[in-house]
Each structure stands twice: as structure tokens, then as C-alpha cells.
Structure 1
Amino acid sequence: MSERYIPHKVPEVILKKKKKNEISKAKSVANEIKNKTKKESILKRIRFKRAEKFVKEYRSRENFDIQIQRRARRANLYKIPVDPTLIFVVRIKTPLDLHLRARKVLNLLRLITPNTGVFLKLNTTTLKLLRLIEPYITWGTPNLKSIRELIYKRGHAKTKNGFKSLNDNRLIEDHLGQYDIICIEDIIHEIVTLGPHFKEVNALIWHIKMNLPTESWKNSGLPFNKEGQYGDRKDKINSLLAQMV
């Protein structure tokens, strides 16, 4: 007959040490959760205050533009020529015989497929690139409403794990926190004002995928100023974006 197995009694010292470690670990987890909650609460207040500040700034800029236009009319000036520095470029329908050089420029600007768009800073270099691919794109000056809708409704960040919605403030903080950009309103502000970290913000957004416009791309072989689709639309780009967002 086999002997009955009697388990060894665990020394009391080891049991106390184990219990102490468990209590210490539980306290550590509790403190971590508490600190995380506290940090999130602070960040929430910061985001709210920044949003209020940005709204006041946007209104001030808008009022300033209105005053300038009024003064221009009083001085009998038809228009004050101010070139926009921020533009939004949209790729339209692509022909089968797309030239290799044009394809390379489109890829460089991240306009890989039709109905995608990107924010660009207008300068001599970008204008030359736009002229090379003009028959395949349309662009213009987006207003604040268009920018907000593009970012909130269509904005996605390109990450190692694929594309993630920009509505996740933690994701924004992880990728742009070193530039003091911690929420979606910071991203919008950086784009609207063409801030010092516009390049980094724009790289994170990658490109914006949109719907086909209401009338599709009717007369896409003609420039916009001849009732077509391609080329510079100036501020009329906003009516197109309203259809596509």
C-alpha cells in the first residue's frame, strides 16, 4: 500500500512576505490608476481652456479680415491681394494614360487615389508641383468650418498599427506630445495658423479619404474657370468639400 502524501507546511515567514508583496503590488496599481486619472483630469482642463482660447483667436482673425475688407471698400479698393498660404488639394478622376512623372508627383504629395485630399503650405515649390499635375487635381483655400469637418469627420493618423481616428486624444499626445500638441483642437489650430509644427502634424494625418462629390467629376477634362473640375477654386473649394465630407 502506497504511503499517503502529506504536503509540506509553508513557513509563516514566507506567507507573510508573500502577503506583503501582494499588498504592495495592489497599492502600486491603485496609485498608478490614481495618477493616471489625475493626469487625464488635468489634460482635460487644459484641452478645454485651449479650445476656448482658439475660438476667441479664430473670431478675432475673422473680425480683422472683415475690417480690412470694409476699409478697402471705403478707400474704393476692389480687392486687397492677399495670397493664401494654406490650401487643400483634392485628387479628381485619373485617366488611364497618366504620365509617369505626374504619377510620381501625386505619390509624393500623398494623393495616391481619387477623392483623397491633403493640406499643403502654398509656396513656390508646391505651386510648381501643382502645375505639373494640375489636370488631375483641384485645390483652394479651406475655411475654418471645412478644416474642422475634415479633421473631425475624416481625419485619421497613420501609425505602425494602421490608420487610427484622430478623435483619440491619447494617440495625438503619444505622437505629437513632444511639440505640446495633445488634442484634436491643437491639430486644427496648427493647421489653421500654419504653426511651427505644421509639417509634423500633416505627416501624422497623412491624407484624408472623402466621398465622391454630388455631381461626380463632371467635365473633369476642363479647368474650373471654364465650368470644369481641375485647377484652383480659391475659396469655392469649400462648397466642394461640403459635398465630399
Structure 2
Amino acid sequence: MEAIEEKKRMVLAVPQAPKKKLRCFAELKVNHLRKRFAHQMLRKARRKFIYEKARHYHKEYRQIHRIEIRMAQMARKAGNCYVPAEPKLAFVIRIRNFNGISSNVHKVLQLLHLPPNLLWYLCSAQQGFN
């Protein structure tokens, strides 16, 4: 019995540096995996939100399209002509030299993620004659 206790006491000494290194590596790995899991969950939630938003827009545009078709069919049955609504604003882009752009316009182009060699205007769209 005393021999067994002697063997228990005679555990080989392990240097502290590799022990600390292994423990530190394990902690770093756990932290990395936690961050990775959190990032994956965040990405999953964002993708789900984007998907739901896209479904909503798709449904809305599909309804608008179906209404346009229904209105045209009703007008045809009544012997009339249906003219669909047209946009009220036009987004006009003109290519221009980089040096001619003011700082305010340059900032707006940056916010809209447009290259600075494009100059754009918002103007009211009036129906012209064909």
C-alpha cells in the first residue's frame, strides 16, 4: 500500500511553459470558436431578414403587376384603352470629368456608391409626344 502511495507522489514534473502554452492555446481556440459561432448566427439572422424583405418586395411587385394586367383587361372589355402610370422622377446620369465635380456632389456620389466620373440629376419626368 505504501508503494502505491509512493508511485502517486512520484508524478513526473512537466515544465510550466508548455503547460501554459497549451492552456493559453485552448482558451484562444475556445474564444475563436465562440466568436465564429456568434458571427455565423449573426450572418444567418441577417440572411433570413434579407430573404423576408425580398419576399415582401416580390409579393408587392407581383400584386402591382397583376393589378396592371387586371386594369388593362377590364378596360379592353369595356372597349376603352388603359394607360399605365409612369414614374414621376427620372434619374439622369451624365459622364463628366473628375475635376469638374464639386465636393458636395462628390460626397453624394460616394454615399450612393457611384463612381465620381458620373454626374447625375433628378428631374421631373413629363410625358412627351411620340
TM-score normalised by length of structure 1: 0.30
Larger radius of gyration: 2
Greater share of residues in helix: 2
